[in-house]
A and B are shown apart, each in its own frame.
Chain A
């Protein structure tokens, strides 16, 4: 089974209950990985971050430095990737 190195920031850190973890998972896509990450409330992270098969616009996932588009949840993972999950903070003041 492939492994992924997860870094969870902000809200997703609190959902998952860890900030860094190496996770072994079944399957080959980001969606597969998210389905196998349990959150503190018992659901999978996928259920919180994904709506109608797309990543919700309030969240971001970065794989090896590249931010995924909302429709890229079927992106294939080879194993060993660095995956960052985070909530987007829109109110970063500045003008």
Chain B
């Protein structure tokens, strides 16, 4: 008979650390006794998550002690490769593993380093994502970030130098949530955000949620508005029409004084400029155009059309006002299925709550006070016209003047370095659409397989690999990749067009994986290099913090299991063996910001171990007195951002309302494509202002794909990564929304389906099968496929492999990609049949 012994706290100790179960990194403390980690809790001293921890964090021990972890370097012995081919791993030494990888990748590097494809994940170690660049490869073979951030990040960076954005939990009173789980189930720092959301609701904040599905946010909102996927922009354009054309209530002072909305636009769509090249505004006192900085605000026209020099010029605001005249609630109701009366009601409630003209004093400084804001994320803007979606949501917030002010819609910086703030042209904040790397320069033939040289204001459109690698000549690519590095990424699972991705895997002569557990993608690996979990490894983390700043330390709380190594050590050793460790150090110098204080520059001739590296990093940010040892003792240096750091960090610089630089970039691209003879590359979305137009996925309805299919995630899971964890999959299995293909009861009756029936959804890209789950909480024209229905290849026998791989329904081609940002369409049109 088994016996149990009670554990008393005195027998062990709590060690501060940082959660690694998603990208954001909540502060945790881990109870360790006799070298065994027994419990994880939120760290109450860390103001980021305030002692809270989501289900994933609580399940962290299950990852550490998962019996199916790969704990030793492995070599494949089965030459046949495929999703269901057993690699027939055999254990090898690290020395042999390194030797094989350095030999095979070294051959590629000497031949043509572009022939290495890299699938990168593990956002907390984003500083290491430059390793392929040092190798010499420009390729990004994954679409993970593009599902959410492809259009989102460039627009945030262009508006206020931020990386992400969120409404002001502290002061907002009226929160419109569109296609997002912020504060309820996902996105920015969930544990702390959920607490902040709960506190705001307790003081009376109203939440209105737009979502095709009755998500957690929708279920807890004051009002849920079901909507057709990919039409959220139409709803918001309808509300903007109400504010501008019907209620005529918008923040004129904000638009005139803090944006470029009053700048005059000529009939080519460019700003009207004087002889010195300065953008001009209309001077109402003299009735002539003059440079923007020569006209006092009270004489600056915000709206209107003026005849000048033989042509009509309009203010940027007037141009959008004219666009909005078409977007009546009635027309937008036809697109969205949301009644026009609802669009009018929400618009009225929003502008009432915004208190245009109000101010608030915080710590002795007076700010505009706009306690109403619209928040959005993946569901509402990860679409083929994602740029327009993001611009619309930003402009709608600007109508009430709530950008970066108390109560409003706030930028969130990438990391501790804060917002990218520097003066641009015409009194504007310089747009920073790229924050993870410098903006790419046009090149033909392109170097990168994901054509990043053709997206100067976009992110890395990894989904395009499905097209380019199977038809390289069509895109001018003059090489074919032969090797792949998988670094905490599962491209087989997370990219669209799975069959094409399999073909690409089959073309690889050599694949190396740095991972913790086997995945669908590692089925093709030749060598498996086992990384350590977040409870065994080291780093300092500060990513997309919505309310705080400062680093939290991830540190080993137990001795690493088996013969695993920290990813930093793996990448450094590979650099060493291939002869570019000096360049690796130099790259870290650049991306870590050590160049700002050369005292901390890594010596290219020295090898630093993982602790030495993070010690340098800590001291470079916090000074000599706060090295790694300080963090080991204190756990974190996280503090609340000050009001000065949070609100209008760009001071008196204007932010864009009329995105002339996007239009200008499109003009330049058109010229460059023309010069190289490429005439059919789509450039339609390089527009200075958003408007309504159908995306390809809406057009697909005409081809007989009557319904929409969406996927969704909740707090239980991070991408596909956590679905192999029994603790979490057991919880998922108990929730019906994760049990199959969600179909509204009205639709189910119409089609004669009942819960448990097997059906097939077919999109233009592919098909998936699954069991019907009849529910009330989903739009009748929409099928929902949970991100938690689990994976296709799972080594843990306690986790069921039910398949239903949503991404098979998606297409990675340019037809389904935003032509300006590279953002990916994440909704599919489908037809349904009973099996």
Residues of A within 8 A of B (CB): 5, 7, 9-10, 13, 19-20, 57, 62, 65, 82, 84, 86, 88-95
Chain A: CB-nearest residue to B440? A90
Chain B: CB-nearest residue to A65? B596
- Chain B residues lying within 8 Å of A89, measured Cβ to Cβ, are 130, 133-134, 437-438, 587, 590
Given A19-B604, A91-B448, A94-B145: A9 and B586 interface contact (C-beta under 8 Å) = yes
Report yes or no: B140 in contact with A62, Cβ–Cβ below 8 A: no
Report yes or no: B590 in contact with A95, Cβ–Cβ below 8 A: no
- C-alpha gap A93/B450 in the complex (Å): 10
Chain A: CB-nearest residue to B591? A92
Task: Digitize B147-174: 1 where CB-to-A-CB distance is under 8 Å, 0 elsewhere.
Answer: 0011000000000000000000000000
- Interface residues on chain B, size class: 35 or more
Report B810 CB to chain A, min CB distance, Å.
16
27 CB contacts below 8 A, A to B, read: A5-B598, A7-B601, A9-B589, A9-B604, A13-B604, A19-B604, A62-B595, A65-B595, A65-B596, A65-B597, A82-B597, A86-B595, A89-B133, A89-B438, A90-B437, A91-B447, A92-B436, A93-B118, A93-B129, A93-B130, A93-B138, A93-B140, A94-B145, A95-B140, A95-B142, A95-B460, A95-B461
Task: Digitize B114-133: 1 where CB-to-A-CB distance is under 8 Å, 0 elsewhere.
Answer: 00001010000010011011
Verify if B399 is at the interface (C-beta below 8 Å from A).
no
Among A5, A84, A90, chain B packs the most CB atoms within 10 A around the CB of: A90
Task: Digitize B589-622: 1 where CB-to-A-CB distance is under 8 Å, 0 elsewhere.
Answer: 1110001111101011100000000000000000
Report yes or no: B595 in contact with A95, Cβ–Cβ below 8 A: no
Residues of B within 8 A of A (CB): 118, 120, 126, 129-130, 132-134, 137-140, 142-146, 149-150, 436-441, 447-448, 452, 459-462, 582-583, 586-587, 589-591, 595-599, 601, 603-605, 822
- C-alpha gap A91/B603 in the complex (Å): 23
- C-alpha gap A81/B144 in the complex (Å): 42
- Chain B residues lying within 8 Å of A65, measured Cβ to Cβ, are 595-597
Given A10-B583, A93-B120, A93-B132: A19 and B146 interface contact (C-beta under 8 Å) = no
- Chain A residues lying within 8 Å of B143, measured Cβ to Cβ, are 95
Additional A-B contact list (10), CB under 8 Å, known A65-B596, A93-B130: A5-B598, A7-B595, A10-B586, A62-B595, A89-B133, A91-B132, A92-B591, A93-B132, A94-B436, A95-B436
Report yes or no: B437 in contact with A84, Cβ–Cβ below 8 A: no
- Candidates A10, A88, A90, A95; contact of B462 at CB < 8 Å: A95
Report yes or no: B150 in contact with A92, Cβ–Cβ below 8 A: no
- C-alpha gap A62/B138 in the complex (Å): 25
Chain B: CB-nearest residue to A88? B438
- Chain B residues lying within 8 Å of A95, measured Cβ to Cβ, are 140, 142-146, 149-150, 436, 459-462, 822
- C-alpha gap A93/B358 in the complex (Å): 44
- Candidates B134, B441, B462, B596; contact of A62 at CB < 8 Å: B596
5 smallest beta-carbon distances between A and B, as pairs: A92-B437, A91-B138, A95-B145, A95-B460, A93-B140
- Chain A residues lying within 8 Å of B130, measured Cβ to Cβ, are 89, 92-93
- C-alpha gap A62/B597 in the complex (Å): 9
- Chain B residues lying within 8 Å of A7, measured Cβ to Cβ, are 595, 598, 601
Report yes or no: B129 in contact with A86, Cβ–Cβ below 8 A: no
- C-alpha gap A94/B604 in the complex (Å): 24
Report yes or no: B118 in contact with A84, Cβ–Cβ below 8 A: no
- Candidates B145, B441, B461, B582; contact of A90 at CB < 8 Å: B441
- C-alpha gap A5/B597 in the complex (Å): 12
- Chain A residues lying within 8 Å of B126, measured Cβ to Cβ, are 94
Report yes or no: A84 in contact with B601, Cβ–Cβ below 8 A: yes
Report yes or no: B598 in contact with A93, Cβ–Cβ below 8 A: no
- Chain B residues lying within 8 Å of A91, measured Cβ to Cβ, are 132-133, 137-138, 437, 440, 447-448, 452
- Chain A residues lying within 8 Å of B462, measured Cβ to Cβ, are 95
Chain A: CB-nearest residue to B452? A91
- Chain A residues lying within 8 Å of B452, measured Cβ to Cβ, are 91
Report B488 CB to chain A, min CB distance, Å.
13
Chain B: CB-nearest residue to A12? B586
Report B414 CB to chain A, min CB distance, Å.
11
Chain A: CB-nearest residue to B120? A93
Report yes or no: B590 in contact with A9, Cβ–Cβ below 8 A: yes
Chain A: CB-nearest residue to B146? A95
Report A36 CB to chain B, min CB distance, Å.
19
Report yes or no: A92 in contact with B129, Cβ–Cβ below 8 A: yes
Report A52 CB to chain B, min CB distance, Å.
17
Report yes or no: B595 in contact with A57, Cβ–Cβ below 8 A: no
Report B490 CB to chain A, min CB distance, Å.
15
- Chain A residues lying within 8 Å of B145, measured Cβ to Cβ, are 94-95
- C-alpha gap A13/B599 in the complex (Å): 17
- Chain B residues lying within 8 Å of A94, measured Cβ to Cβ, are 120, 126, 129, 140, 145, 436-437, 459-460
- Candidates B120, B137, B440, B590; contact of A86 at CB < 8 Å: B590
Chain A: CB-nearest residue to B460? A95
Given A88-B438, A94-B120: A19 and B133 interface contact (C-beta under 8 Å) = no
Report B494 CB to chain A, min CB distance, Å.
11
Report yes or no: B133 in contact with A92, Cβ–Cβ below 8 A: yes
Given A19-B605, A62-B595: A93 and B139 interface contact (C-beta under 8 Å) = yes
- C-alpha gap A82/B598 in the complex (Å): 7
- C-alpha gap A11/B582 in the complex (Å): 11
Report yes or no: A84 in contact with B459, Cβ–Cβ below 8 A: no
Given A19-B605, A84-B601, A88-B438: A93 and B133 interface contact (C-beta under 8 Å) = yes
Report B123 CB to chain A, min CB distance, Å.
9
- C-alpha gap A57/B591 in the complex (Å): 17
- C-alpha gap A65/B595 in the complex (Å): 6
- Chain A residues lying within 8 Å of B438, measured Cβ to Cβ, are 88-90, 92
- C-alpha gap A5/B586 in the complex (Å): 17
- C-alpha gap A86/B582 in the complex (Å): 13
Chain A: CB-nearest residue to B129? A94
- C-alpha gap A82/B597 in the complex (Å): 8
- C-alpha gap A84/B595 in the complex (Å): 7
- C-alpha gap A19/B599 in the complex (Å): 13
- Chain A residues lying within 8 Å of B439, measured Cβ to Cβ, are 90
- C-alpha gap A10/B452 in the complex (Å): 22
Report A79 CB to chain B, min CB distance, Å.
16
- C-alpha gap A65/B448 in the complex (Å): 31
- C-alpha gap A10/B149 in the complex (Å): 30
Chain B: CB-nearest residue to A94? B436
Chain A: CB-nearest residue to B132? A93
Chain A: CB-nearest residue to B593? A65
- Candidates A9, A20, A57, A92; contact of B441 at CB < 8 Å: A57
Report yes or no: B586 in contact with A86, Cβ–Cβ below 8 A: yes
- Chain A residues lying within 8 Å of B461, measured Cβ to Cβ, are 95
Among A9, A62, A92, chain B packs the most CB atoms within 10 A around the CB of: A92
- C-alpha gap A86/B438 in the complex (Å): 13
- Chain A residues lying within 8 Å of B597, measured Cβ to Cβ, are 65, 82
